[in-house]
Amino acid sequence: MVPVLEIRNLHVSVEDKPILKGVNLTVKQGEVHALMGPNGTGKSTLAYALMGHPNYTVTAGQVIFKGVDLLELEPDERSRLGLFLAFQYPVAIPGVSVANFLRTAINSRRRAANPEDKGIPIPEFRKLLRAKLDLLQMSHDFAGRYLNEGFSGGEKKRAEILQLATLEPDIAVLDETDSGLDIDALRIVASGVNMLAGPSLGVLVITHYQRILNYIKPQFVHIMLDGRIVESGGADLALHLEEQGYDWVREKYPEKAEN
């Protein structure tokens, strides 16, 4: 059976303020979805809530991933189950190299599957990491740098995609991966995602702007307004937004636009 992420009537509050007010969305492995909407409508909240950030409280609804109640799991368990979040603002971990971090992440997964596991042998890991760096046209030196420390905006986003490539999840949520990137960086990051997207990966691209969708072609586009998905459609919906902006959505759903 194909892995499915199914979000049912999800309500999420941050510091007692309701942000998500009943989100329904299903993403299957192999599909590319885009979630669009004006700023402050809850797109990133959905991303954090899916990954289990402690500040995001689920007040109602369900998320089923691969038949498991995702909301019952800790963030690390969600990750090991096959969910990935590319952060809008990746966090710096000084003193920890990209390679050391990724090897630890791989070993955590292996040990969770088999407590007796001795970890990935270092030569095998080096080979794997080099292959992923090459795939994403990244310098091998990157592996030795401290994770996200002193990285440019573009480097941070590429590091996220490198992690995505190395950890090989079933479903990846890309939270505003395009924000803060110039056009060249955007093109590089998007081509990385395109290389990874395919039958074994489902992608949910969260974005405010249409421009990343010039490079990543979604099959499904959803528009979020005030904590709910108000429109869903095909790739043409994104083009429509490009031409019309978000005003027509606000006009169509005035009661939501006011909040």
In the complex, which residues of this chain contact other proteins (CB under 8 A)?
51-55, 74-76, 78-80, 84-85, 87, 90-91, 93-96, 101, 104-105, 108-109, 112, 146, 163, 167
Tell me the two tokens of residue 128. Answer: 């794997």
CA–CA distance, 221 with 210 (Å, rounded to integer):
11
CB closer to other proteins out of 69 and 247: 69
Min separation Cβ 173 and other proteins, Å: 10
Min separation Cβ 119 and other proteins, Å: 12
Contact 8, 61 (CB under 8 A): yes
Min separation Cβ 89 and other proteins, Å: 9
Instruction: Give bridge partners of residue 63 from the DSSP assignment.
Output: 7
Min separation Cβ 104 and other proteins, Å: 6
- Please count the residues of the chain: 259
Min separation Cβ 91 and other proteins, Å: 4
CB closer to other proteins out of 84 and 220: 84
User: Three-state DSSP class for 131?
Assistant: helix
Calculate the alpha carbon distances from 58 to 8, 46, 168, 195, 227 in Å.
12, 10, 27, 34, 13
Closest by Cα among 61, 76, 48 to 206? 48
Min separation Cβ 157 and other proteins, Å: 14
CA–CA distance, 28 with 26 (Å, rounded to integer):
7
Tell me the two tokens of residue 246. Answer: 């978000």
CB closer to other proteins out of 124 and 182: 124
CA–CA distance, 183 with 218 (Å, rounded to integer):
19
CB closer to other proteins out of 91 and 251: 91
CB closer to other proteins out of 21 and 156: 156
Min separation Cβ 37 and other proteins, Å: 23
CB closer to other proteins out of 106 and 221: 106
CB closer to other proteins out of 22 and 90: 90
